[in-house]
Each structure stands twice: as C-alpha cells, then as structure tokens.
Structure 1
Amino acid sequence: MITALSSDDPNTVSRYRILGLLGAGGMGRVLLGLGPDGRFVAIKQIHSRLLDDGDYRSRFHREVAISTRVSGAFTAAVVDFDTTGEIPWLASVFIAGVPLDTAVGQYGALPVASVRTLASGLASALHSIHTTGLIHRDLKPANVILAKDGPRVIDFGIARGTESEESLTEVGSVLGSPAYMSPEQAGAGAITAASDIFSLGSLLYMAATGMSPFAAASAPVTLFNIVHTEPDLAPVPEQLRELIAGCLRKDPRERPTAAQILDYLGILAIQGNPWPAPIHQDIAAQTARMRELTADPERTQIILGAPPHRLVPPDQPKRRRGRLLGVACAVVIVIVAATAAVALLRGNTPAPPNAAGPAAVMPTLAQLRGVDACAWLRQALGPTLPQSVATGVRRETDSWRWTTTSSWGCDGSSGTGRMIVEIGGALMGFASTQREVGQLDLLRRGRDCAFAVAGSEQASWGISVDIGLAVDCALAEYAIDRLVAALPSLVVDPAIARSLASIDPCDLVTEEEIRAAGSSGPGVPTAHSCSWGGDGRVRVDVGRPDDLDSGTILAINAVDIGEGTLVYNADFNLGRDDRGCSSTYRFRAVDASRHETVTVRVVGSSLAVRRCPAGEAIVAGLVTRLPQR
C-alpha cells in the first residue's frame, strides 16, 4: 500500500517532488517522485537508523555503482543518484506494468507465446547484466515487471560482480529468495552467472504453470528440493520443456548461457500485446491514472476511498501536499495495479466474504494446541472451494490431499494448488491490510498470497493461510474467512492432546537454564515454540518433522548427554558474527518417517557462550519434564 508521508518526511529529494511512500525493506525505503520533466521515478533511500553504520552506507554505494553499470531494453534504468549526501538515494525509472507474481496470481499461468516472450526478454536482460561482469542473484517473479512492450528486470540490491569475493550477507538474512535460488546458492557454493540461469528456469516454470518447481512448506525443504530433487516437468507445456529443463540442470556447467538461450529462441513473431488481455488492461488503466497525476502539479493526491481515477474535485480549493497530508482524514496516495520499478506492491484482491460479519473470538494458545488442524480446516471450507484462477475449475475439498505439518498445522495440495494453514504460529512479516474478517484485523505477508489473523493486538502469533507462490489469493482469503467463521466449532482432539503438541514450550525450561545459556527475560510463546532474548538467544521448538526435514546431519552428529539420552547437534551461521547450534531430542516415533522432537537453538555473538553444550544442558533438563511416552 502506498502511504502518505509523515511530517518528518521531505517534500522533495533533490529536484524530485515526493508524492508518497511506495514501501520499505530491511535496508531502505522507496518513495514515489515526480521529476521536473514530468517523469515518475522510484527513489530508494537508506533508512535513517542506518546512516551512522558505515557498512550499510558502503552497501548502498555498491548497489548504486552496480545499478548504474546495467543498461539494456529489459532493465529499469537509473536516472539519478547521490551517495555522498546526508541521506543517500537512488532514482530509477518508474515502470508502468504488472509484477509477474501479481499477473500469474490474478490471471493464471501465461500462454506459451507469452512465456517465450518473457524468456527472450529476461535472457536479453541477463546477457546485458552478465556482460558487465555482474550477477543479479535474486531473479524472482516479484523482480520482473510485465510492461506493455516486454518484461523488465529490477532490483539489484544483492547483485555483485563476478570477480568479487566479498560477502554481502547481513545478520539474520538469507541472500536470495529460497524458491528461486540455484543449487549453488542453497548449498553455499561458488556463484557464477549460471546461477541466474537456474533462477530463470524456475521463474519460467512458474510463469508457465502457476507454481514453483521446488517450493515446499518450509524453507529448509525448499532448499533441499533445489539441491537434491529433479523438477516435475509434466505440467510444463511441451513447447517449453527443453528450454526450462536446460536451465534447471543441477550442474551449472551444463546450463545454457543467456546468449545461447537467445539463439535457441531465435527471432520471435512480433506481438503488439505480448501478454494476456487483462494484463494489458491493467497496464493501460495504470498509465491513464499516472497521466492524471501529471495533469496538474498541485493536484497529485487522491482522496482515500474515492475511485482511483477521481482526483480532488475542481470546485475545491487547491492545497499544497504538505497541508493535504497533515489533515486528520489521513489522505494517502493511491496507485492501483502494478508498482514502481521496485515492485513493492501487489494488485488488489477481493475483500473476504464475511468481512462485515459477527465478531470472532480468538482461542488461546492452550486451546489451539489440541486442535486437529486438517479436520478443522476441511470442516470450515465445506465441500467445494472457489474455482481455480489457473484453470477456472471449481475444486472439491475431498479431492485434495491433506497432511499434518511438522508444527501440527495442515498442508493441503491438489493438481491445481496448495494451501498451508498454521494455527498458533508466528506472524513474522505480516502487516495489516486495513480490512477485517469477522471484525478481526486481516493481515497479509508482503505481496504473498498469505493471510492471517492475530491472537490479539499484542500477540505475535495467530492463524495463517499461505497459498505459497502468489497463484490464488482469492482462495487464501476465502480460507481465512471460513476459518474465522468456524472458530466457535474448534474441538480438542484427544490424540493430539496426548502428544507433544499440547506442551507449552515455555514451561519446559527454567529461568536458571536460560541464564546459564546467556539469555534472559520472559519467554515469548507461539503454539509450539518459545524464545528468549538477551545476548545469547535461546529458542525451544516442539514439532513432528519428517526425518529428512530434520537434516541428514542429525545422523552423524549424535551426542550422548547421559543415561542414553541422544542429542543431535547442528551448527549454523546467521551472519559473520552471529552463530548458533541446534540440539534436537527425538521424543518418540510418529511413523516410519517422522519423530516428535524438541529442538533447542542457542544463538549469540559472544564467545563466552558455548552454544552446543548450552543447548545440550537445556535438553538434559527438559527431558525430565516431558510426559511419559
């Protein structure tokens, strides 16, 4: 959502008039600007809280240097920048178009001809990027804009030169988007231009089918699939299989180069409209609205709640933007359909069916822990689901395959989609949509088709529905609406109540054990985890993961901590100075491939905290507090 500027925000950045805030990320924010020549630009600025950090300034300077090296018909051109001022900034051309993930999510998979146009444009963009000695490293649907004359590649925030060995990883971050990483990225191997080609293959697969070839219910499983499993090419149209299969070869030496892809595709037939008609209609509507914003330099705000095309009526007095944005009615800038060159927005989705229905009452975590999520979900959804965006076919609930997740949620899948529901899980990344469902605040995670409601205003947990890769937002909203409506029908399942699912993880550890691990403070709970802050961060997770999901390293890192109690340790890195150790105890077998487990993670930058021994000590204590098997 584009929001109004605060009183502390500037009215101008250099020669650009600022109209509103497009969005923000971990490193900076992006503003919508209007140049003196009437062109719209997306202006990226570093966050003010990071201005005193030399590392962040250096990284922003590197992004600017990289972005200015890139040129070509299929990239978003840099038009201006300043890296030495009080607040560094970078201005890029505003692309009128629809992000690829939004296009597929709203209108389904692209036809073969459109995918070939997409492949040719992206290969041309990568050829321009690679010939300058750069690697994009984050090619994903959200970073591709479908403009009226072809695709555009945007966002070089984590790009780097092929000759550079410098790590750009930030503390607590993953470099790249898991579902579109290459095996080299997933396995921390050497990154070359071939990594972008693998990402291109995953992106084309998604464009042609509406789903990712490797995405799973969790990031670890997704990365495992990328490294170890071959993609199922059956859903890919036959005309595209050879191209996509070549890009998705595990060995980077066997993948084609961008130039070879262009040679393979050859000269494509000229298309006046390369995308399906609804996408071009969205582009035309956005372009028309942008023209309205330039018609009168002092009438660039749209009244909240008015139709997107209706500006301030002519009979009202003109006001300067600063005054408009300061009034109590909270004027915001609205630009619908596609986003700026940074692709920080998604298209609008319909409001939930019972948004104005009776008020819902959220259960407590203790109540949610004993619920059979799949049984509750199937009851809430009813016999028939809304029709598929990709196929237009109505879906029967019983035709889906419903399985319990590692955190006692529910994972539903069919030939036309996927749905993952978590009850009592963390809501990291979710933010208010300014809409309600059952009079509860409806939350959404970024531009994903993932919606949630929180346990309370203060709670960091709630009930969430994730459709995965932005292919069916209407289904996600339908599901969260039905779940909220079915809250009064929640029933505790005796079998789950007898499992580790019913355990409050915060009760498994004492204050003394937390302090001994270098942490402190009260535990922050979700249904099946509890975390403590402090220099040595501690988290306890209770789950029932698949043994492969637990990591094959568990088989070789077993430690006997006394009386035959085995703990499986695994070291991990969150950043240069932020390391950790996870210690997993297998409580009991669920079936041939799953165990109920308790995992203790100890993370910290202090060398005084011996992380694996600290985790082992906590496990030794909590084992005595677990129920009898």
Structure 2
Amino acid sequence: MFRINGKAYAKLGIIGRGGSCKVYRVLSPDFQVLALKKVKLEGMDKKSIDSYANEIALLESLRGNPAIIQLEDSEVDLEKKSILIAMQIGDVDLNEVLKQQKTSTGTALNMNFIRLTWQQMLGAVHSIHEAKIIHGDLKPANFLFVKGALKLIDFGIARAIQSDDTTNIYRENQVGTLNYMSPEAILDSGAGGGAGPKMRLGRASDVWSLGCILYQMCCGKTPFANLHMIPKLQAIVNPNHEITYPESLDPAAVDAIGLCLRRNPGERPGIVGGDGLLSEHWFLHQDKI
C-alpha cells in the first residue's frame, strides 16, 4: 500500500522505472486505477527535487484541462524522503505507437491517424501556452493516449512565464531531448552577460519540437536522426543544412514541418491565429489550399 495525505492506494504492479523514480499501477480509495509515481529523494540534488515540485505545481494549475494528464493527489514525504504523485493512467504513449508501427510494417503511420494526432497535439500545446507555460521537452513519449484521447504529460522541466514578456524564458543549461531541441535551446543567447550561458526559449521552441514529431510520424525518424551528436548539434543550428523529405510525402505535411523547423524562432508560425498550424494551415484544412 501507498499512503498519500492519509489515503490508501493499493499497489497493483509496476509500469516503469528510471533513475530514482518508479511508476506503479495502483487502485485508489474510490476504486479508480491510477498511475502513481514514487520518487526517492535520497542522494538527489536540489535542482532535481525542485523539478518534481515544479511538475506538481504546474499540474495543479492545469487541473480540469482535458488535454493534460490529470493530477489526482500528491505528497512530499520528507520523513520517508520521497515524493508521491498519483495521476490518470494511460494506455500507450505516442513513442510506443511509433515503435510498434515501425516494427510491424516498417513504414510511417497512416496519414489520417497523423492528422488526427497532430490536431490533438497542437490543441494540447496551445492550451498550456495560453496558460503561459512552455513545456520545453516535447517528444512522442510525452504524449499519452488515455481512452483514445491524446494528453500531454511530464512537466518536470516545463516553465511558467513569470513576466508580461510571453516570448522568452531563459535557462542556464541545455535541457530537453536532442532530437527534438530547437536551435535556441542549444545556442547561448548572450543574455547571461558573461556569467555563464543562457538559452532563450519560448512558445516557438515548442513549435520546433512539434515539427520534429510531425516529421517522425510522417517519415519514421526524426529530421536529424542519421547524424551523430556533434554533427547533429551543428545541423540543428545551421540554417544552411537542408532537411530532406521523401518524395511521396504529402506536400501539406512538408509545408507544415518546414514552417515549424525554421531556424529563426520569430519566423515560425503560431498554433492559432492568422497563419496558425491548428486554425489555418492546409495540412488540417484542405479548403485552405
């Protein structure tokens, strides 16, 4: 049994593990099957502990949003040196769907499935941007199917925008998953003033990551997958490095990906609005051709 705020959760089995974290399938006091993340704090540095506290705070602020995994309960137990987070449980994440598709057929996903999934992804990310939150680590593993609906998960390195400048937030280190990281998440913005590097992130950084995911859904791999680490870093930030597409790929998909993968964040489209990927682009709106 686990106890969170005095309530008992029955352990049904383990779902996954990584580092100091394990995720269990549990039964709640009101007989719901949930996912329970247990994080051991022993030996963990303050920055890592803060990331879990940050995740809880952001999930609390996003309660009721149908496009976000729902937090059911949480507790920081300093006596037992652990954090317990009970959440909605999912069926399968998008990364697993992509792996299964590649293994079974060796081809990319069905275009109708891609369009529907892309639409839900854009809606989920738009909803957190509206709440002034930058996710910062968008990748297939962080989109979870829950009873057929796609939900965004893992807000460990997400950041709330604190000021009225909704364009940028700054990080003092490179965080994220390289295959989906934007150029500005890699390059020093110079804002540190000589006190160490600072990477400038904003809504456009999440849009870049979304473009990488759309490319992967359409092509079976990420845009820079064939490159080793140093050439990959160089290619991501180099505007002269051309991204190639299969000749058979839907031109609307190519156009949407190309817009997302513009090196200059100021040139990337928004999710909604005049040239919005969700509201206007012809990949989702055939009548806009």
Q: TM-score range by the shorter chain?
A: 0.7 to 0.9
* Closer, same or farther: CA 139–227 of 1 in aligned 2, 3 Å: same
Which amino acid in structure 1 is aligned with residue 138 of structure 2? L
Q: Does 1:214 align with 2:224?
A: yes
The within-5 A match list for 1:455-494 is none
Q: Which residue of 1 aligns with 2:3?
A: 13
Aligned to 1:92, which of 87, 95, 109? 87
Partner Cα separation in structure 2 for residue 26 and residue 143 of structure 1: 17
* Closer, same or farther: CA 242–56 of 1 in aligned 2, 3 Å: closer
**Displacement, 1:38?**
2.2
**Contact 2:216–2:223 under 8 Å retained in 1:** yes
- Where 2:234 maps in the other structure, the secondary structure is helix
**Displacement, 1:251?**
0.8
* Closer, same or farther: CA 268–149 of 1 in aligned 2, 3 Å: farther
Aligned to 1:47, which of 37, 40, 52? 40
Q: Which residue of 2 aligns with 1:262?
A: 278
Q: Which residue of 2 aligns with 1:59?
A: 51
The within-5 A match list for 1:331-350 is none
Q: Does 1:123 align with 2:122?
A: yes
Q: Does 1:204 align with 2:197?
A: no
**Displacement, 1:84?**
5.4
**Contact 1:70–1:128 under 8 Å retained in 2:** no
Q: Which residue of 2 aligns with 1:152?
A: 151
Partner Cα separation in structure 1 for residue 186 and residue 171 of structure 2: 15
**Contact 1:112–1:239 under 8 Å retained in 2:** no
Taking only aligned residues, the RMSD between alpha carbons, in angstroms, comes to: 2.5
Q: TM-score, normalised by structure 1?
A: 0.38
Partner Cα separation in structure 2 for residue 128 and residue 60 of structure 1: 21
Partner Cα separation in structure 2 for residue 177 and residue 135 of structure 1: 15
**Displacement, 1:200?**
0.1
- Where 1:30 maps in the other structure, the secondary structure is strand
* Closer, same or farther: CA 132–50 of 1 in aligned 2, 3 Å: farther
**1:546-565 deviation line (CA, Å, top 9, x unaligned):** xxxxxxxxxxxxxxxxxxxx
**Displacement, 1:149?**
3.3
**Displacement, 1:181?**
0.6
Which amino acid in structure 1 is aligned with residue 177 of structure 2? S
The within-5 A match list for 1:71-470 is 71=63, 72-83=65-76, 86=79, 87-96=82-91, 98-107=92-101, 108-163=107-162, 167=171, 169=173, 175-188=175-188, 189-228=199-238, 229-235=241-247, 236-259=249-272, 260-265=276-281
* Closer, same or farther: CA 26–127 of 1 in aligned 2, 3 Å: same
- Where 1:103 maps in the other structure, the secondary structure is helix
**Displacement, 1:266?**
8.2
**1:119-162 deviation line (CA, Å, top 9, x unaligned):** 11111101111111111111111112244533222111111123
Aligned length: 253
**Contact 1:99–1:144 under 8 Å retained in 2:** yes
**Displacement, 1:56?**
3.6
* Closer, same or farther: CA 33–148 of 1 in aligned 2, 3 Å: closer
**Displacement, 1:103?**
1.6
**1:463-489 deviation line (CA, Å, top 9, x unaligned):** xxxxxxxxxxxxxxxxxxxxxxxxxxx
- Where 2:42 maps in the other structure, the secondary structure is helix
Partner Cα separation in structure 2 for residue 218 and residue 266 of structure 1: 34
* Rg larger for: 1
**1:375-397 deviation line (CA, Å, top 9, x unaligned):** xxxxxxxxxxxxxxxxxxxxxxx
Partner Cα separation in structure 1 for residue 213 and residue 19 of structure 2: 24
**1:478-533 deviation line (CA, Å, top 9, x unaligned):** xxxxxxxxxxxxxxxxxxxxxxxxxxxxxxxxxxxxxxxxxxxxxxxxxxxxxxxx
* Closer, same or farther: CA 76–202 of 1 in aligned 2, 3 Å: same
Matched-pair identity in %: 31
**Displacement, 1:42?**
1.6
Structure 2 runs not aligned, ≥5 long: 102-106, 164-168, 189-198
- Where 1:258 maps in the other structure, the secondary structure is coil
**Displacement, 1:225?**
1.7
Larger RCO: 1 or 2 (CA < 8 Å, sep 6+) = 2
**Displacement, 1:219?**
2.1
**Displacement, 1:25?**
2.7
Partner Cα separation in structure 2 for residue 62 and residue 105 of structure 1: 30
Partner Cα separation in structure 2 for residue 138 and residue 257 of structure 1: 18
* Closer, same or farther: CA 20–148 of 1 in aligned 2, 3 Å: closer
Partner Cα separation in structure 2 for residue 167 and residue 99 of structure 1: 27
**Displacement, 1:222?**
1.9
- Where 2:72 maps in the other structure, the secondary structure is strand
**Displacement, 1:70?**
2.6
Q: TM-score, normalised by structure 2?
A: 0.78
Q: Which moved more, 1:219-228 or 1:245-254?
A: 219-228
**Displacement, 1:55?**
4.0
Partner Cα separation in structure 1 for residue 132 and residue 34 of structure 2: 26
**Contact 2:62–2:68 under 8 Å retained in 1:** yes
Q: Does 1:22 align with 2:15?
A: yes
**Contact 1:117–1:150 under 8 Å retained in 2:** no
- Where 2:144 maps in the other structure, the secondary structure is strand
Q: Which residue of 2 aligns with 1:368?
A: none
**Contact 2:90–2:147 under 8 Å retained in 1:** no
**Contact 2:171–2:200 under 8 Å retained in 1:** no
